[in-house]
Amino acid sequence: MTNARSDYELIRIEIVHVSRSEQNQHRDRARTGADPGATTNWHSRPIEEIYDGLETSAEGLDLAEARERLEYEGANKIEAEEGISPLQIFVEQFKPALIWVLIVAAAVMAAVGHVIDAGVIAGVVLFITAFGFLQDYRAEQSIQALKEMSTTYALVRRSGEKTEIDATNVVPGDVIFVESGDIVPADARIVDESNLSVDEAALTGESVGVSKAVGRVDEDTSLAERENMLYKDTVVERGSGMAVVVETGPESEIGQIATALEEAEERDTPFQAEMDRLGKFIALGVIGIVSIIAITELVIGDTPPLQVFLTAVGIAVSAVPEGLPAVVTLSLALGARRMADQNALVRRLPIVEALGSVDVICTDKTGTLTEEEMTVQRIVANRETYTVTGTGYDTDGEFLQDDEPVDTDRVAKVLHCGMLCNNVDIGIRERDGPTTDESADQERTYLGDPTEIALFVAAQKAGFDHRDLTGRYPRIGEVEFTSARKRMTTVHETPDSGTVAYMKGAPETVLNHCNRELVDGETVSLTDERHTEIETQNEGFAADALRVMGFAYRPDVPDSQAQEPDEDVEQEMVFLGLQGMIDPPRPEVTDALAGCLDAGINVVMITGDNAITARAVGEEVGLRSATVITGPELEEMGDETLREVVDDVDIFARTSPEHKTRILQTLQQKGHTVAMTGDGVNDAPAVKNADVGVAMGVRGTDVTEQASDIVLLDDNFATIRDAVRGGRRIFDNVRKFVNYLLSGNGGEVTMIFTGTLAGLGLVITPIQVLWINVVTDGIPALTMGVDPAADDVMDREPRPPDEGVITDRIITSIVGIALFMTVCLLPLFTLNFYGELVPGYDVTAALVGWSPDYEVGRGLAQTVVFTGFVVFEIVRIQAIRYRYGLGLFSNNWLVLAVAVAVTLQLLVLYTPTGQLLFDVEPLELVHWAQIAIAAAVFALLMAVFVKVQDRYFDRY
């Protein structure tokens, strides 16, 4: 046994015809990655070679050998890395520099006795960290979904006997047995099967079940087409099979996907990185300005140290945009909520901003561009071709010939056959979400194979009623469909007590069992010439990407064959016609795709379907070109060749998960910002590595949803277009309120800095600055987050990925606004600093005779400046929004926010509590007149400044 185990270990990775030592070297190279070409190719090797290599047989392993292999290989489960702990997630919230600027500001305020100021800032910090913690904690659950996708048991053959074991104890070399309803416990090569079909949607994303067969397939066959393989965690739809296990746990296909998902980089969005840079810049700016003032006052001036310290605190508080993190977070959240109302659920708030720079969307075909509801579009009957209108499972439709309606009798026989030779049933599906109406919780739905549903619905369009038809033609027998037979036949009693057989299947197979044809109600001989004509029609349908089924019937089936029908009943059939079907594009996709192209966003279809179908759908929805690259062609391309052609290819067909990731990485290397859609587990790594990962909410798996940034609740491409539009709108709004808040902070810093250097002392107190930053500026800034989109939001090219929120235009705007505010408000402070303006007051004499002890009007002067900042916000708001084509009243919430801010300011000025807390004096009419004049001058300066900016900078 020891020697046997040693041999097994040497050849576990790949079966090759080499010596044992060479096998050992190959295994080591494959596992360490030194040999990138190493591959198991279980699907392309003879079954005898697999048995020999795994040192097993059709009798399976003996118990002792299975135990030893379990010890060596490990349990058949996906070991997810231990996730980050809640404590670590909490600590991560304190990494941004801006958070630490706020913390230091709060600590300083508390140290000098300004408890209220400190409490407000601490509350902002608490809100930001708590919100971020909840978002990140939910995002950490992606790997856990994979861990939960495990079977509870498996039926294996051990020591020659069938044994039910814990699925985690399955090892390579085990012979397993599966049947309808089972979850496949491990990757395995099929040894025997009976009408076996497997739902591999969780792995490949394709919704149609895959018929399995014994045998070998080519080495370059894509994962979705390996009909001789079973894969872990897929579901057996029908039939049964026996297979030999070749890979378990992390070495299985789904295990390798889990590994790739764990290794996917967690990257900050450009917006997150920019906010972090901004925080660091502000922190350094605060330190620099405070240092300059402190050194100037302490070395050159004669200001007391305490006054210098208070001035430094004022500058620090004025430089920090306390409201910015909260406004950013809430604005992104509000944008995400709007997107959720449009069926796009945002899982990571910062990704909302990244949508604005997406310039390539890589999308699935099935269910995203198409309905995911097979629809019969063409019928051949009575030697004529007819068109069927309507899409999906809607039973409204007409039958046309040369665009003119025809009587359904012309196609009745072939539709009749399609409904009877069919296993579809009409059932009930519970609707999502609670409702008070119990009947509204349920809806009628079709249960069965998508192809058969298409035939069923086509018959309903002609007025056939399933219950009535099956009542008149009850089924008494069936010859099942198998992948080898490629046909299905059912036997029915007729209303006149006769017996009839109906067949459907691959057209060439059906034709081979027919010797007659039904034409205009009469049975005629099926000649070789007609046989060729029908094959030509079939090829024409297939060239148009239609999936074609042939139909035939046999009247007067002998009783001896009707009772227990077998293949003998499938002789001398009468050919009825063809039905061609396709999964049609969603009606809204064409306009949505055109909108993306107009917005400078390229759309790339990546599908597991064949090139003909992919090209046909691409042409119908309006992709730029019909250039198609298939998976095998992609594998033959070098990285440099792919880089050269990837921008010119709109369709990739017959792709695998590895192809999808390679395409994504090539696009990203060329500087594109890529949104990637996915639904199956196989898509999760590509979705997670994309700049914007988009999961399908209807047909998608939990794993892909957890790995994504956005979940489409309706699996519709048009929703992606709407999400991009929403993302651009949100980014514009973020850019507006960042400009608004930072320009306000810049004005405060410039005022305090200039006043200090001019010897005027503190021109505005820290608590007044905090009130402006958090309340009177913060509230309007928050409502900017719901500003409507600019009219041209989807007519612009995507912004470059390296272009952040703060552009050169915004920097000049911040600087210009800060200087203009200082120019307009500092004279007001000086004017009121020397006393109240009363008749006979000599301002010039006061200026000449001023000294630090002469502070008749400091409180009043600070109040005027404090209120001036609040009034100037109205001018600043419209100056910033002007270039987006938005009027003052285009956002009712903003109007309300400005009104609220002004009202709150009045309460501060004219209530005893406000006067006490903020150390202000009530203003008289003359002071309001001063502020109004200053605001008018500020508005004039801003109008001229915006015109100058338009000459030297792009509009956005």
Q: Which residues are the active-site residues? A: 364
Q: What share of the chain is helix, strand, coil (3-state, %, to 5)?
A: 50, 15, 30
Q: In terms of Cα–Cα distance, which of 212, 232, 230, 228 is closest to 167?
A: 232
Tokens 């561009």 belong to residue: 369
Token pair for 229: 């393989």
Phi, psi of 239 (to 5 degrees): 80, -165
Spatial separation of the C-alpha atoms in residues 258 and 248, rounded to whole Å: 13
Residue 659 in contact with residue 634, Cβ under 8 Å? yes
Residue 5 in contact with residue 14, Cβ under 8 Å? no
Q: What is the 3-state secondary structure (H, E, C) of 58-125?
A: CCCECHHHHHHHHHHHCCCCCCCCCCCCHHHHHHHCCCCHHHHHHHHHHHHHHHCCCHHHHHHHHHHH
Residue 374 in contact with residue 367, Cβ under 8 Å? no
Q: In terms of Cα–Cα distance, which of 450, 362, 244 is closest to 657?
A: 362
Spatial separation of the C-alpha atoms in residues 676 and 566, rounded to whole Å: 49
Pairing of strands 384-388, 375-381: antiparallel
Residue 368 in contact with residue 284, Cβ under 8 Å? no
The helix (H) or strand (E) run that includes residue 161 is strand 161-165
Beta carbons within 8 Å of 953's beta carbon, 6+ residues apart? 807, 808, 809, 812
Spatial separation of the C-alpha atoms in residues 554 and 540, rounded to whole Å: 27
Q: In terms of Cα–Cα distance, which of 202, 8, 165, 1 is closest to 76?
A: 165
Token pair for 383: 């030697």
Phi, psi of 739 (to 5 degrees): -60, -45
Spacing of C-alpha 168 from chain mean position: 32
Residue 340 in contact with residue 547, Cβ under 8 Å? no
Mutual orientation of helices 589-598 and 717-757 as an angle, nearest 10°? 30
Q: What is the 3-state secondary structure (H, E, C) of 893-927?
A: HHHHHHHHHHHHHHHHHHCHHHHHHHCCCCCCHHH
368 three-state secondary structure: coil
Token pair for 435: 């409702």
Taking CA atoms, 914 is separated from 353, 857, 858, 863, 919, in Å, by 38, 19, 18, 12, 8
Residue 691 in contact with residue 798, Cβ under 8 Å? no
Token pair for 686: 């590509």
Question: Interior CA angle at 28 toward 26 and 29, to 5°?
Answer: 65
CB atoms within 10 A of CB 61: 24
Amino acid identity for residue 275 in this structure:
M
Taking CA atoms, 549 is separated from 457, 608, 631, 717, in Å, by 15, 21, 27, 29
Tokens 């914007």 belong to residue: 692
Token pair for 885: 């084509």
Q: Where are the alpha helices (DSSP H) in 696-785?
A: 702-707, 717-757, 766-771, 778-784
Cα Rg for the chain, rounded, in angstroms? 37
Q: Dihedral of the CA atoms 382, 387, 392, 394 (nearest 10)?
A: -80
β-sheet bridge partners, residue 241: 178, 193
Residue 549 in contact with residue 504, Cβ under 8 Å? yes
